[in-house]
Amino acid sequence: MKKQLVLLLCLVCVFGFSQNKSYSEEELSITKWIDGTLLKPSNNNKPNLAIIIAGSGPTNRNGNQNFLKNNSLKKLAVQLSENGIATFRYDKRIVKQILNNNVDKNIMFDDFVSDASDVIDYFKEKALYNKIYVIGHSQGSLVGMLAAKDKADGFISLAGAGNNIGDVLVEQVTKMAPKLGEETQRVVNLLKNGESTTNYPTELNSLFGPDIQGFMMNWMTYNPTEIIKDLNIPVLIVNGTKDLQVSVKEAELLKEANEKAELILIENMNHVLFEIEGDDLENSKSYNESFRVISPQLTKSITTFIAN
């Protein structure tokens, strides 16, 4: 009898949850490298669609990496879908390559742009959505603005850099380890000129190792301010005041480059979209705290932008 009661309670909980769910969920394969999750509002036959592009590293559709689970992009997708906006988020191709134990050592930044472009094309061909917006987070901001040009109906930069990635790295390294700042600048200058090198401190290997120099060279050919100024679609730029990786000034640079863009700075929001009341330690720990909720102001800002 006790087992039957427990089973009944479980069924009631599942039924209740499914009844309250305001969107449907579907797994999609766009290309051989791109798998993702589509959420569609249940009460809208032809909603707007937001394509969410993840940031740097082997980041999956939910905004997570191997040892960092915060589900930030999943939470964003769910919140938007509950507000009547369809969302599609996908694993970066490097995620699938790692899972298949088949990592392409010659992977380039342009491959990520090509993937995002393929995703936009896929949904445009379906013609099931009113308008298509691209949301690019961190590295995904530059990827998204490159892919969105002449294809999407609107673009949202979320914690995206305004400076060239080489300059961003110099600033970040100098801030964390001042003694390595000059060496970082020297290596960045070489890579910007298309010159590879093995002459750098071992501490910088994760940034400039031989296997990723080609990728970094490719990435450094793009200046976000030059790209965003040519976007002739509605643009929203969002940054948090407690972002440890991308400062507010980066968002302001993007805004200066595109005067028509809307800029929203969210007080206390960090890089993984959580609002942090405490210090940098709490901020850093939150990258692996999936119990947190994303900034309500972020959801409201994006929803309002897409609705207009």
Per-residue pLDDT reduced to its tens digit, 185-227: 999 999 999 999 999 999 999 999 999 999 999 999 999 999 9
pLDDT band at 169 (very low <50, low <70, confident <90, very high): very high
Which pLDDT score, from 0 to 100, does residue 45 have?
85
Of the chain, the percentage scoring pLDDT greater than 70 comes to: 94
The answer, yes or no, to whether residue 128 has pLDDT greater than 50, is yes
Confidence class for position 5, pLDDT limits 50, 70, 90: very low
Instruction: Please give the structure tokens belonging to residue 169.
Output: 């790295």
Is the pLDDT at 228 greater than 70? The verdict is yes
* CATH classification (class only), 23-163+223-307: alpha beta
**Residue 126: predicted pLDDT:** 93
For the chain, the average pLDDT equals 93
Asked which of 10-14, 72-76, 213-217 is least confident by mean pLDDT, the reply is 10-14
Residues 256-285 pLDDT 10s: 999 999 999 999 999 999 999 999 999 999
Cross-strand pairs, 238: 158, 264
Percent over 90 (pLDDT), the chain: 87
pLDDT at 2 over 60: no
Instruction: Determine the Cα–Cα distance for residues 303 and 286; give it in Å rounded to an integer.
Output: 24
Q: What is the pLDDT of residue 43?
A: 86
**Per-domain residue ranges for the chain?**
23-163+223-307, 165-221
DSSP 221-253: T--HHHHHTT--S-EEEEEETT-SSS-HHHHHH
* CB neighbour list of residue 72: distance below 8 Å, 6 or more residues apart: 62, 63, 272, 273, 274, 294
Looking at residues 16-21, what average pLDDT do you find?
A: 54
